[in-house]
Amino acid sequence: MLTSKRAAGKLELGAFPRGRAILQRLSGLRNHIQLLVNTYIKRYPRYGLNPFRAKPKDTSFHNLLFLRLEVTSLCNANCSFCVYQFNNRPRISMDEDIYEKAVSEFTALGGGRLDFSPIVGDALIDRELEKKIAFARQDPRITSIDFFTNGILLTRERFDSLVEAGMTHVVISMTSFDPEEYEQLYRGGKYQTVLRNLYAISESPHFKRISPHITIKTGKLDCRSQPDFIEMKRRGFVIWVQHEIDSWDNQITQSDLPDTMSISSMPAKQRNRGPCLQLASIAVRANGSMTYCGCRDDRPESDLCFGNIRDQGLTDDAMNPNGVLARVTEQFMNNDPDDLPDVCKNCTMYQPFGPVYPKYNAKHRFN
């Protein structure tokens, strides 16, 4: 029979067989709630959750949900589902002057969440990453810093140093716990390295607070029954499973994937629910060029690019009634899929701000 034990006035959760597992799940839920609070609510105390509803009197205000900084465009994997293999942008790390200017402007606008996930690449390749994180976190207006990584360089020592510098969350991207599938999709021969890193960081004293996530790209429908999957869940990792892959504007095809995986599809009408979530963020690439889509816009020049931060401010284009943001927002409002920017036409990563869209308000975002 289950009985509760108390020591020094506190309930000992060890008295319950599943107490540890419940705590770990609650920790992951807490992380999700904190991300929501930091990204939305703290940024919009006056305007609610829909940035397009905001009509601030201060015309210098920009409703950035978050700022994505591509600290490096280099990668140490060659994934079959990623356009890094076709990318012809310069493969460099972000200069200190570009980084500091972007962060300083973002904090002056009110700050919020920083995302260090490169459009294509891996943030851990940047040897100055801890220094960059510490620079940003010295300002309390930066509420969180997170990024995706393939986990190859995420050793226990690196994980601890990143957390101590100010990292608040990390997501590890990999396949199911099968070395053959890993080699087929990631083509790097680093499966054992990643697995070893996952076990090691789960022993870190920072693990529970950071609540790392694993996103699994796999064609194996039974991946949840794999022993390592079960063990990772037991240790407290939050795991997402993905069987479909975005085509990156038709650059990735079915031939690049195992037979048991498929290219994602999204009916055109699904992209007719107003402007995409990405338009409420800005991505600064490693060379300083800026785009309104840090999720899928990997092209050196596209309809979503709007200059270089070396020469202009983060919100100069947004404040221009004839700028890129105004034009692209209008394209989404027209509800004509053929009128969207090329990178958006076939994108399955599209996310509207909500199921009910006050279309007329979207046009007044910067009034």
One-letter identity of residue 309? I
**pTM higher than the cut 0.85:** no
Produce one character per residue of 326-355: b if its CB has 16 or more CB atoms within 10 Å, e if not: bebbebbbeeebeebbebbebbbebebbee
Residue 264 confidence (pLDDT) above 60: yes
Helices (H), the chain: 19-36, 96-108, 129-137, 156-165, 179-186, 191-201, 207-210, 227-235, 324-333, 342-345, 359-362
Indicate whether 184 pLDDT > 80: yes
Give per-residue pLDDT as tens, 96-134: 999 999 999 999 999 999 999 999 999 999 999 999 999
At 216-257, the pLDDT tens digits run 999 999 999 999 999 999 999 999 999 999 999 889 999 988
pLDDT of residue 79: 94
193 pLDDT above the threshold of 60 = yes
Cα–Cα dist 305/303, whole Å: 6
Q: CA–CA distance from 129 to each of 34, 96, 310 (Å)?
A: 23, 11, 20
Report in angstroms the alpha-carbon separations of 199 from 151, 229, 231, 232, 332.
Answer: 11, 11, 9, 8, 44
